[in-house]
Amino acid sequence: MKIIRAGDKPFIPASHENPLAPGVWKKVLFLRDELQSGTVQMVNWARLPVGNSFSAHYHEDMQEIFIIVAGEAEMVVAGETVVLGRGDSIAIDPREIHRMTNRGSEDVEYVVLGITWNQGGKTVVV
């Protein structure tokens, strides 16, 4: 697991912008070398209502990258508990058991990307 907190990395001018007067700024969350090689299997926008959790599970060959858009999520990854807020992101490696719970007062919304080694991408619920 690798966590990037909202304030960990600065916004910088996008590469296609004039660096002296950029129209748009970007924050590089993960570089190519920080993610596994493979094929994007999915890109989802998800909502986890207040008080809900998703089932503990892992993926045999898929890395997942979660980006919190709204709310506050508690994640347990490989036995370690972390709390993620708006703008935080986390990369979860294949075979790392993970579960997300919304213990806050508003729905958690997040974008999740899956990168697979093209070996079936099987999800295993534990």
Q: What is the pLDDT of residues 84-106, one digit of tens each?
A: 999 999 999 999 999 999 999 99
pTM listed for this prediction: 0.90
CA dist 88 → 29, 57, 74, 109, 125 (Å): 9, 21, 12, 12, 25
Measured from the Cβ of residue 41, the count of other Cβ atoms closer than 10 Å reads: 17
79 backbone φψ class: left, alpha, beta (φ>0; ψ -120 to 50): left
Report the pLDDT value the prediction gives residue 123, as an integer from 0 to 100.
Answer: 92
User: Does the pLDDT at position 121 exceed 80?
Assistant: no
How far is the C-alpha of 78 from the C-alpha of 80, rounded, in Å? Answer: 6
Report the pLDDT value the prediction gives residue 50, as an integer from 0 to 100.
Answer: 97
Q: Which of 18-22, 83-87, 116-120 has the least mean pLDDT? A: 116-120
